[in-house]
């Protein structure tokens, strides 16, 4: 079962990467053009997002109705459903990074696969940020609350 899961993950990842290339989303200039509301705005990313949301909605709807996943024993859904400061700050940091670099993680991996230097730098910075968060979060969860005396 694990080999089928790995094969399906590979095929879905390749399809996703192909879609990113085909839609131009692995090109940071395209993304930055979408974010440039005051200049030469390029609305094509909005159409890609609308199509992606529509397709994903069908998948999520079908997943809710399905019992057990095809290649696993249980569904792996997020446990956290609360909107908190961490989520808002993470979203803001993601948006700023997206606006500066023109990449988000998926397109950056695709562009790095095409040996685009900016994408490799973006991925290195993203991984460094993930590591920094992991270390700070672990430290925050270990330290006793100094206010609780």
4-46 pLDDT per residue, tens: 888 988 999 999 889 888 888 888 998 899 888 898 899 988 9
- b/e burial code for range 53-69 (CB count within 10 A of at least 16 → b): eeeeeeeeeeeeeeeee
Q: How confident is the model at residue 123 (pLDDT cuts 50, 70, 90)?
A: very high
Q: How confident is the model at residue 126 (pLDDT cuts 50, 70, 90)?
A: very high
pTM, to two decimals:
0.74
Torsion, Cα of 27, 29, 34, 36 (10° steps): 160
Domain residue spans of the chain = 2-142
Q: How confident is the model at residue 2 (pLDDT cuts 50, 70, 90)?
A: confident
**Does the pLDDT of residue 149 top 90, yes or no?**
no
């Amino acid at each position: 079962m694990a080999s089928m899961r790995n094969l399906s993950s590979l095929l879905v990842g390749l399809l996703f990467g192909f879609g990113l290339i085909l839609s131009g989303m692995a090109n940071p200039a395209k993304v930055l053009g979408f974010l440039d509301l005051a200049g030469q705005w390029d609305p094509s990313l909005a159409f890609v997002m609308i199509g992606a949301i529509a397709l994903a909605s069908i998948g999520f709807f079908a997943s809710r109705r399905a019992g057990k996943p095809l290649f696993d024993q249980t569904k792996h859904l997020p446990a956290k459903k609360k909107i908190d400061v961490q989520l808002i700050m993470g979203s803001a940091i993601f948006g700023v990074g997206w606006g500066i670099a023109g990449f988000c993680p998926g397109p950056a991996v695709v562009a790095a696969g095409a040996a685009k230097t900016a994408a490799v730098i973006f991925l290195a910075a993203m991984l460094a940020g993930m590591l920094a968060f992991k270390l700070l979060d672990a430290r925050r969860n270990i330290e006793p609350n100094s206010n609780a005396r």
